[in-house]
Amino acid sequence: MSKLSRRTILNAATGGLCVAGLGALIPGRAATLANVDVVARSQQTSLGRAVRPFDRWTYDTGTTNSIIRGQFGETIQANFLNRLDAPTTVHWHGLRVSKGMDGVSGKFGSPLVQPGETFEYQVPLRDPGTHWYHSHHDSLNQIARGLYGLLIVENPQEPSLFEQVLVFDDWTVMGPGRGNYEINWTKLEPSLAWGHDGVKGRVLTINGTVNPRLELAFEGATRLRMLNAATGRVFRPSFENARAWVVAMDGYTCQPFELSEPLFFGPGQRLDVLLEPAGLGRTQLFLGENLFGKGTGFEFGLGLESSGALAETLPGFTPYAPAELQPELRASQRVTLDMSELYRDHPEGAGKVKGEWQDWDSLVNSHRYWLFNDVADNSLGPLFTGRVGETVEVDFVNNSATHHVMHFHGQHVKVKSSTSASHEIGNFRDSITFEAWPKATIAMKLDRPGLRPLHCHILGHQVSGMFTYYEVT
C-alpha cells in the first residue's frame, strides 16, 4: 500500500516500545481521529530455528505483533484491506464499538470482507489499556494462522514506564522434534480436541518467536503488556527473581496486587504486570499451563535491582471505573448460563439440536461437544434482551472438568461472587476464565445497542457449542 499513515510510521519507528510525550489528552475534549492501514495478508515467516518457514497470515501494520497504538479518547479509523484468499473480518476485542464495527458478520451486522475488498472500521478508544484485534470469521482457523494484533490504548494519566510486550501463542506442528517441525494446519480441522481442551500447538512462541529477546528497564519498573493469543491454551505465567504486581486485567486497571500465585490466563485475555528484578540471578518468566509445573522458562535481559521503584509507581494505577459501566446493586434481570459437556445420563438425550434432543453418537459425529443451557448447536439466543443502562446479572455454572473462557463482546463486566479462588472480585473484565467446576455471578450495565456475542474464547469450544449472544436495545 502506498498510503502510509502517520501512525503506521510512528509505530514502525518505535517498534512497540513506549511512546512518551504524545501530549496529554483531556477526557471530554473533541476526539481526534487517527488513521491506520491494516492489511491482512499471507507472509512467509519463521518462528525461529525449530520450525520450517511457512506462510503465516498476518495483519500488516508495519510492526512486530501488528501493534496499533492510540490515545485514550481518540478514534481510530482502520483502513482494512483483505489481501488473503479467504473472506475475513476484524473484531476489536475489548473495545466498545458501535453496531456494525464489531467484526461479526451476518445478523451481528458487520460486513464479511471478501478477498481484495476494503472496509473502514471506526474504533473509538473509550477504554485505556492493553487490548487486541483479531479475525472473527472462521476464527479458530484464522487466529491460529496468525490473524491478530495488539491494540494499545495509552492513558496519559498513568506513569510512563519502559514497556515490554509479550504475546503468547502456540503453533500446531508435526515432525520428529526440535529443529524439524513443520506447521500442520490439518490439526485445525474438526476433531475430538474440540471436545477436550481445544486445539493446542506444541511450539510456544512469544512475540512470534521461540527465542524472544525480552528486555527490562535498566533501572526501575518495567510494564509488561501480556496477551494470550492462543486458541486453546490456558497459561499460568509466573516469574522468578522478580517482584511482580498486576496493575490491569483485560486492559482495565485494577487495584494493584502482587502476583504471588499464578493466575489462569485464558485465550483472549490480557494481563499488565509491573516487574522489577529481585534477588540473585536472571529474571525469568515461566509459562506454565494449567496445574502442571512451572513450564517453559524465558529470560529477561539484565536490569538493576532497586527496591522501592516499583512501589513508588503503583499509586499511579487506579482502578478503572467509568460511571456508565458501574452495575447497580440490584439487577433488573438475572439469567443462568450453564456450560456443560454432553450429558451422559440425561433421560432425554445428550443435548439439543434445533430444539430436539439428540443422542450422544449423533452429536459427537457432527462435532458438537458442548452445551449452553442444554443447546448443542450454537443456536441459544438471545440469552437475554435488555435496554441500555440496565443492570443484568449472569450466573455461570461450569458443569465440566475443563476450562472455559467466557467473553462478552462490547461490554465490561464485574465478577460479583465466585466459588473460584482465582476470580478477582470487583474488577472489570471482558473475559473470565473458569477452571473445572466453579460457579460465578457477573454483573454488567448494558452499554450500547446491538446484538452482542457471548462465547468461549477456547475457539474449538466456540465452534462446537459454546456460542450465544444477548441483545441490547
The binding site for ligand C2O (CB under 6 A) comprises 91, 93, 134, 136, 268, 407, 409, 453, 455, 457
Q: Cβ 93 to ligand C2O, closest distance in Å? A: 4
**Given the complex with ligand C2O, which of 144 and 275 has the nearer CB atom?**
144
Q: Cβ 397 to Cu ion, closest distance in Å? A: 13
How large is the greatest C-alpha to C-alpha distance in the chain, in angstroms? 65
Out of Cu ion, ligand C2O, none, what residue 268 binds, judged by CB under 5 to 8 A for its kind, is ligand C2O
Out of Cu ion, ligand C2O, none, what residue 352 binds, judged by CB under 5 to 8 A for its kind, is none
In sequence order, the 6+-apart residues with CB closer than 8 A to the CB of 31 are 73, 74, 75, 124
Give residues 51-90 in contact with Cu ion (rule: CB under 5 A): none
Q: Cβ 341 to Cu ion, closest distance in Å? A: 10
Out of Cu ion, ligand C2O, none, what residue 461 binds, judged by CB under 5 to 8 A for its kind, is Cu ion
CA–CA separation, 88 and 90 (whole Å): 7
Out of Cu ion, ligand C2O, none, what residue 243 binds, judged by CB under 5 to 8 A for its kind, is none
**Given the complex with Cu ion, which of 69 and 404 has the nearer CB atom?**
404
CA–CA separation, 320 and 423 (whole Å): 17
Out of ligand C2O, Cu ion, none, what residue 223 binds, judged by CB under 5 to 8 A for its kind, is none
**Given the complex with ligand C2O, which of 104 and 217 has the nearer CB atom?**
104
Q: Cβ 354 to ligand C2O, closest distance in Å? A: 23
Residue 290's Cα: distance from chain center in Å?
17
**Given the complex with ligand C2O, which of 411 and 427 has the nearer CB atom?**
411
Q: Cβ 384 to ligand C2O, closest distance in Å? A: 18
Could you please report the per-residue DSSP string of 398-419? EESSS-EEEEETT--EEEEEES
CA–CA separation, 166 and 275 (whole Å): 13
Check binding of 456 to Cu ion (CB under 5 A). Answer: yes
CB 167 within 8 A of CB 206: yes
Choice from 69, 136, 404, 445 touching Cu ion (CB under 5 A): 404
Q: Cβ 153 to Cu ion, closest distance in Å? A: 27
Among 294, 252, 286, which Cα is nearest to 269's? 252
Out of Cu ion, ligand C2O, none, what residue 93 binds, judged by CB under 5 to 8 A for its kind, is ligand C2O
Check binding of 371 to Cu ion (CB under 5 A). Answer: no
Check binding of 461 to Cu ion (CB under 5 A). Answer: yes
CA–CA separation, 144 and 57 (whole Å): 9
Q: Cβ 300 to Cu ion, closest distance in Å? A: 32
**Given the complex with ligand C2O, which of 412 and 455 has the nearer CB atom?**
455
3-state class of 199 per DSSP? coil
In sequence order, the 6+-apart residues with CB closer than 8 A to the CB of 21 are none
Check binding of 199 to Cu ion (CB under 5 A). Answer: no
Q: Cβ 448 to ligand C2O, closest distance in Å? A: 16
**Given the complex with Cu ion, which of 131 and 457 has the nearer CB atom?**
457
For the chain, helix, strand, coil in percent to 5 are 10, 40, 50
Out of Cu ion, ligand C2O, none, what residue 455 binds, judged by CB under 5 to 8 A for its kind, is ligand C2O
**Given the complex with ligand C2O, which of 249 and 363 has the nearer CB atom?**
249
Q: Cβ 147 to ligand C2O, closest distance in Å? A: 11
Q: How many CB atoms lie within 10 A of CB 344?
A: 7
Amino acid letter, 202:
R
In sequence order, the 6+-apart residues with CB closer than 8 A to the CB of 28 are none
**Given the complex with ligand C2O, which of 93 and 200 has the nearer CB atom?**
93
Q: How many CB atoms lie within 10 A of CB 27?
A: 11
3-state class of 422 per DSSP? coil
Among 303, 234, 298, which Cα is nearest to 274's? 303
Grid coordinates representing 180?
524439524
**Given the complex with ligand C2O, which of 140 and 161 has the nearer CB atom?**
140
E-strand stretches of 282-349: 284-289, 292-299, 333-341
Q: Cβ 166 to ligand C2O, closest distance in Å? A: 18
CA–CA separation, 19 and 310 (whole Å): 20
**Given the complex with ligand C2O, which of 93 and 414 has the nearer CB atom?**
93
Backbone φ, ψ for residue 55 (5° rounding): -90, 110
Out of ligand C2O, Cu ion, none, what residue 407 binds, judged by CB under 5 to 8 A for its kind, is ligand C2O
CA–CA separation, 72 and 68 (whole Å): 13
Out of Cu ion, ligand C2O, none, what residue 198 binds, judged by CB under 5 to 8 A for its kind, is none
Q: In what order do the strands lie in the sheet with 404-408?
A: 385-386, 467-472, 450-456, 404-408, 431-434
For Cu ion, the binding residues (CB under 5 A) are 404, 456, 458, 461, 466
